[in-house]
Amino acid sequence: MPRAKPNGAQSDALVLFGVTGDLAYKMTFPALYAMARRGDLKVPLIGVASSKWTVAQLHKRATDSIGESGRIDDRAALRHLLSLLKYVDGDYNDPATFKALKTALGAAKHPAYYLAIPPALFATVIEGLGSAGLAHQARVIVEKPFGRDLGSARKLNRVARAVFPENSIFRIDHFLAKEAIMNILYFRFANAFLEPIWNRNYVASVQITLAEEFGVAGRGSFYETAGCLRDVIQNHLFQVVALLAMEPPTYRGFGAVHGETADVFQSMRPLKRADLVRGQYAGYRREAGVARNSDVETFCALRLFIDSWRWEGVPWYLRSGKYLAETATEVIVQLKAPPQRLFADSVSLTDSTNYLRFRLSPRSAIALAARVKRAGKEFIGDQRELYLSDEQPGEEAPYERLLGAAMTGDGALFIREDAVEAAWAVVDPVLVNHRPVHPYRRHSWGPKEGDALIAPDGGWHNPTSD
């Protein structure tokens, strides 16, 4: 991603709403510790929650979080982080909470507010910051999901824009900060050999799989309000589609990238019932917090079209699910077959065309599949991969990268208002108007209906966790 010019001054305080919650425990404290180890954490940290905790309890929570995420190998960095961490207790609906926050901020003039809270509270906190006069020259960092449909996304955007200018609103999709995702953009536009074939004339189809071999893991109540389409497809996988499908940026700057990715979302054809397969793993309805007659999908597969000059007629297949056979994320760009079948094995090949494979997790890699002749007189061959591993030691974790970027005003890895709304517009027609879920076995690749969806284009490439 082209480096962004900082938008305004460096943030001189970081306020963590929801500091006692699950997201802060799993992601935020480990990220802050990593920043402290690198010497990048030098501003006051103010946690806000309604847990009636003391500062000592919050310090213990932070220490436990960092210890659980990995070995604490820099005690000085931990002490430094804890020395910066303060706590404000209060109800987000109470103006007194924001008054106490204003006192805790002291002389800070450019705070950043990170909303690691349930989405239902986003508007409450943003409006509370505005009413308390705490939004001037400040930034707000909003966790996903940004809305749960097009209407709610538009409403939340209006609330946020009424308090903060667009360039001070940082909408997080942590997928965009993963090194492997950033490498898609770099690989596409740093190499000249792709552009001549990166279009409808040479690409037969594209498929993206995000598979998890575990279930909802105690998050049944959350999943009942979201489901796979909202939780993974509409944000994470759509962002990958945008990076693969976008036109070349016209200048070096994240604004150009944002403009091109928004154009991709706006070019996506709204989904129809026939484009979507929803599944639910066996036993999901017995999970805590799940309705006994739940129709929420834990698996989703869809067929997508992008009505642009470059991609007209090329199907994009996206799928994700819980309790699938592997935990892996992968992209397959399937190329069209050669125009003539010259060799003896051409007529019988069902999986013979070249493809480009982006392995995003668990270990990132890029591979190009090509056919190579076997030794002997016969002109027959095998499909083999030219494989480039891209795993690098010492990579920044997504939340470490995102928090640091937001505090400097670097919007490169965040999502713009028009892109959020355009993405919701694609899935909005099928959020309610869809067929019932299909059951599937745990540790399978989902319901057979998901296979039927992609069958005309050769079937799924099932990734492995190797």
- From the number of C-beta atoms within 10 Å of its C-beta (0-12, 13-18, 19+), residue 364 rates as buried
User: What is d(CA 142, CA 171) in angstroms, rounded to the nearest whole number?
Assistant: 5
Of residues 110, 136, 174, 236, which has the active-site annotation?
236
Concerning whether 236 is annotated as a catalytic residue, the answer is yes
Pairing relationship of beta strands 328-335 and 203-211 according to DSSP bridges:
antiparallel
Residue 108 CB contacts under 8 Å (≥ 6 apart), including other chains: 12, 13, 43, 44
- Closest among 10, 19, 6 to 45, alpha carbons compared: 19
The token pair that represents 388 in the structure block: 């480039």
Q: Which amino acid is at 14?
A: L
Indicate which residues carry an active-site annotation: 236
